[in-house]
Chain A
Amino acid sequence: MATHPFDNIRNFSIVAHIDHGKSTLADRLIQETGTVAARDMGEQMLDSMDIEKERGITIKAQTVRLEYRAQDGRDYILNLMDTPGHVDFAYEVSRSLAACEGSILVVDASQGVEAQTLANVYQALDANHEIVPVLNKIDLPAAEPERVKEQIEDVIGIDASEAIPVSAKTGLGIPDVLEAIVKRLPPPKGDETAPLKAMLVDSWYDSYLGVVVLVRIIDGVLKKGMTIRMMGSGANYGVDKVGVFRPKMTDVAQLGPGEVGFFTGSIKEVADTRVGDTITEERRLTAEALPGFKPAQPVVFCGLFPVDAADFENLRAAMGKLRLNDASFSYEMETSAALGFGFRCGFLGLLHLEIIQERLEREFNLDLISTAPSVVYKLNMADGTQIELHNPADMPDVMKISSIEEPWIRATIMTPDDYLGAIIKLCQDRRGEQVDLNYVGKRAMVVYDLPLNEVVFDFYDRLKSVSKGYASFDYAISGYRQGDLVKMSLLVNAEPVDALAMLVHRTRAEMRGRAMCEKLRELIPQHLFQIPIQAAIGGKIIARETIRALRKDVTAKCYGGDASRKRKLLDKQKEGKKRMRQFGKVEIPQEAFIAALKMDE
């Protein structure tokens, strides 16, 4: 095996909790190596979307190639792989990590290890990474490097004695990080003469170049003019352009083993490229595909409807455009009696859902109503078949169902111990099962198994509120379990409102039903007649509220024949009615749907 040419390559990623300074550290490394001139540096070079910058999260994997002359006098190529930092993208993260040999673990020297740090560092360990711990924000008065080092050793179980103290903000310690990358991380291995074997790390749509594919070469070389094959799909494509990111796209003649870069070619859609797929040469196929490839699986579904029915086509076009860049998001048309025409959409998780919704609203200027997020249930039918249920409105006749399974997650929550009691109560209320409870200094780490359908229902908001924002939370899907689940319908004036139907655990149905009825009673304005609001399981009413008929409205004195003012009031009322959804004889404000689905207990 030829090892010589790749001794000077290091591929690494940065693992951190949100806000612990991952992006700032990346910016410093880019600057320190002179990859981008100081005057061209913007804040957070790698996060290119507004949403990424605002939320401090990374959605797409990105890479930048740094050229570094080390203290040993040799020139190195350091490929920094920026991975999505959220559990919704756990699979994408695992593929990005598989494309590197090592990780820098960034921990805030005052805040210490957080739940997300753990989830990500475990993934890096799973990928057999060498890990370099870095203590960031060392310049802050609240920094406690010794305590945090201890915590890293206790909780994560890695040696933190050589953790590097840095301040990404001031630049302190950055040269030490670069030296550690060179000295402590291993170079990649590979065989340049073997048939091409590369991993598809990510891909996106560029309006000038078409689909851009981010790859890590394992064996062989990738060059312009080659015909490659995606082993997952079996499709062949010509290669037009090969290059690296510095961080601007720069063409190179070829990419060899251990290198990270991009290519473009005759690929039409991002949907044709699948993260984790193995790319090989059509004329000289590699014997074995890379392990760990799996197609994207939506976990959470919800309906998205335009507030203004006239925006339906715009919504369709916007979704098409977003999907160009994000094949993990799926949509199909849906009709709701309450909300009109819209789409049933599948997402990798709740954050993914929020991001897509926010991008649709912000980048495409759409006003959307979303229905309650629903998880994917597996229905075991009496005839022995199994079907997946994405939308509670599609629930088949219960007589034909023998059992229902729901997805569970394993959640890791870290919190100052002041809030532990409230958090445990929250988890218990949500049908949680405690798996583990540990103390790390003053912080508690509690691990719970929870049904995902209890988590999609405002669990984050509740967790934030009971812990005053101090608890951190992360989870991984742990599998399906059978549950005593029932479909609960909401009836307004005796008509079922499809958009409000939900699957709930039988023990939680009455409480949830009562809360929904009370909420709707507050949200639906009085009408000229009385309106009953009911929650029902099958034909059985489990909760009921009544909105009284309007008894008196105030008719103002009419001043000197000022009919205009009265007419303008009427115009305002008409305008208000446009934002209402007619449901039988009842008009329900759109805000009611949104608010009803976002409830506190």
Chain B
Amino acid sequence: MHQSSAIQASAVPARAPFDAGFGVYVHWPFCASKCPYCDFNSHVRRSPVDEARYVAAFRTELAHRAAIAPDRTVTSIFFGGGTPSLMQGATVGAILDAIAALWPVAPDAEITLEANPTSVEAGRFRDYRAAGVNRVSLGVQALNDPDLKRLGRLHSAEEALAAVRVAGDIFERYSFDLIYARPQQTAGAWRAELEQAISHAVEHLSLYQLTIEPGTWFDRLYRAGKLTTPDEDLARALWDVTQEVCDRHGMPAYEVSNHARPGAESRHNLVYWRYGEYAGVGPGAHGRLVGADGRLAMATELAPEKWLEQVERQGHGLTGAERLTPEAQGDEYLVMGLRLAEGIVPARYAALAGRPLAASRIRDLTELGLLRAEGERLAITPAGFPVLNAVISQLAA
């Protein structure tokens, strides 16, 4: 993150200070295999999935959301998972058609699909492009084979880089993910790997510190003492390397784990972080829609088959649509918004939460050099980002 100057709003402008856009999230819950670090809603199926039946269910659930939130213009669509690159191109096309039939889609809408960088999946990239996808996000995760193996990935580094090249030929925009702070990873090795990643003319990188999530295989190994994560000092050194290398190459962090050349930020993810509205469909998808009686937090059934049956029976797969209290809305705005380098607008916090942030807490954190207020914005400083969680919990208390 730049040590310098004023709080930089992301180059992608918000349409109005309080309007962060409207995104549609489509969750494809299937994977070829489960990765040992992953706690997302993903499922492995031995027999082929009836994609036509899922398309029909997506169509039904999208119509349900459109009834709650009509009159929106879709600014982004995101196929996440799971592994959406297991879908056939026609399936993606049918879902995009269903969205376009319910809401107008902005001409410059960003339409992203998450893909695994295997040769099989790269073979489908042209079909996705033809269906309307204009951006892919590749789960590369590492650029050396032993680590890829340990992370449970099915591709080699060479295969991944080949997929990156195919993506570059076919899509206007692409991004890839890397996981750092892997077991035994040194700061020097990470620096070299990151330099190599950037050399592939990428415009956007998601760089995540490995997190041991409860219930994952890594969690079991960790508890059994068979997997160690870096201590605080090494984790910080790896963080510092990440910022230094990316800044030098003109890809500052616009979000705590996301780096982009100015203008290449993920517009869909900005909707989340700017606490905009988004409809989520598919098993285990989340949404935030402002309906007639306030902002709703929506979540759907996790198990794919149960979700399917519920949608077919009830017209939606929701397990809950909770009306958020002002305090909850304020908290969500903080936990999402402060991930961004551009920070939050305290006036919007006050409007959502029904009370302003505590001036004394802002002052304390500012004195510690972890937070800075400027104009209408309040943002985490470069010194504050590595301890973001602690800063947010201090500010929100």
Contacts and interface: CB of A to CB of B under 8 A. Distances in A.
Interface of A: 527-529, 550-564, 566-567, 569-571, 573-574, 577, 585
A327 B338 CA distance: 58
B331 interface: yes
B387 A528 contact: yes
10 contacts: A528-B387, A528-B394, A550-B232, A551-B233, A551-B387, A558-B272, A560-B78, A566-B336, A567-B332, A574-B393
Contacts of A559: 40, 80
A390 B17 CA distance: 62
A463 to B, nearest CB: 34
A573 to B, nearest CB: 4
Interface in B235-258: 235-236, 239, 256-257
Contacts of A554: 209, 211, 235, 389
Chain A: interface secondary structure?
loop
A552 B386 contact: yes
A553 B387 contact: yes
Contact of B297 (A563, A569, A570, A574): A563
B27 A560 contact: yes
A574 B211 contact: no
A562 B235 CA distance: 25
Contact of A585 (B288, B364, B392): B364
Given A528-B370, A566-B336, A555 B393 contact: no
B362 to A, nearest CB: 13
B288 A563 contact: yes
B368 interface: yes
B278 interface: yes
Contacts of A555: 209, 256-257, 339, 388-389
Nearest to A563: B332
Contacts of B389: 553-555, 569, 573
Given A563-B286, A563-B332, A528 B297 contact: no
Contact of B288 (A527, A561, A566, A569): A561
Contacts of A567: 328, 331-332, 335
A551 to B, nearest CB: 4
Nearest to B269: A558
B330 to A, nearest CB: 10
B280 interface: yes
B124 to A, nearest CB: 22
Nearest to B210: A554
A505 to B, nearest CB: 39
B287 interface: yes
Given A528-B370, A558-B272, A570-B392, A577 B397 contact: yes
Contact of A528 (B235, B271, B365): B365
Nearest to B235: A552
Looking at B206, B280, B287, B331, which has the most chain A CB atoms within 10 Å of its CB? B331
Contact of B286 (A529, A562, A570): A562
Contacts of A553: 386-390
B109 interface: no
B277 to A, nearest CB: 10
Given A552-B232, A553-B387, A569-B389, 19 more contacts: A528-B368, A550-B232, A551-B386, A552-B386, A554-B209, A557-B257, A560-B80, A561-B25, A561-B278, A561-B280, A561-B288, A563-B288, A563-B332, A563-B335, A566-B332, A566-B335, A570-B331, A570-B393, A585-B364
B286 A557 contact: no
A569 B213 CA distance: 13
Contacts of B353: none
Contact of A561 (B209, B286, B365, B391): B286
Contacts of B364: 585
B299 interface: yes
B285 interface: yes
Contact of A560 (B25, B239, B336, B390): B25
A564 B275 CA distance: 12
A550 B368 CA distance: 12
A564 B286 contact: yes
B396 interface: yes
Contacts of B390: 527-528, 550, 553
Given A552-B386, A553-B387, A555-B257, A563 B336 contact: yes
Interface in B198-226: 206, 208-209, 211, 213
Interface in B99-155: none
B222 to A, nearest CB: 13
Nearest to A562: B286
Given A551-B236, A564-B297, A585-B364, A556 B211 contact: yes
Interface in B284-342: 284-288, 297, 299, 328, 331-332, 334-336, 339
A556 B388 CA distance: 11
Contacts of B233: 551
Contact of B339 (A527, A558, A577): A558
A582 to B, nearest CB: 10
Most central of B78, B388, B390 by chain A CB within 10 Å: B390
Nearest to B298: A564
B239 A552 contact: yes
Given A528-B391, A551-B233, A573-B393, A556 B213 contact: yes
A559 B331 CA distance: 17
Interface in B347-397: 364-365, 368, 370, 386-394, 396-397
A574 B393 CA distance: 7
Contact of A564 (B256, B269, B299): B299
A573 B396 CA distance: 10
B397 A574 contact: yes
Contacts of A527: 390
Contacts of B23: 561
Nearest to B393: A573
A560 B280 contact: yes
B18 to A, nearest CB: 17
A557 to B, nearest CB: 5
A557 B208 CA distance: 7
A175 B327 CA distance: 74
Nearest to A573: B393
A574 B386 CA distance: 20
Contacts of B365: 528
Interface in B258-276: 269, 271-272, 275
A471 B98 CA distance: 80
Contacts of B391: 528
A574 B280 contact: no
Contacts of B328: 567
A257 to B, nearest CB: 70
Contacts of A571: 331
Contacts of B239: 552
Given A553-B389, A556-B213, A563 B299 contact: no
A495 to B, nearest CB: 15
A552 B387 contact: yes
A527 B368 CA distance: 11
Contact of B368 (A529, A556, A561, A577): A529
Contacts of B393: 570, 573-574, 577
A596 B325 CA distance: 39
A594 B280 CA distance: 47
B213 to A, nearest CB: 7
A556 B212 CA distance: 9
Nearest to B364: A585
A551 B232 contact: yes
Nearest to A551: B236
B43 to A, nearest CB: 15
A560 B397 contact: no
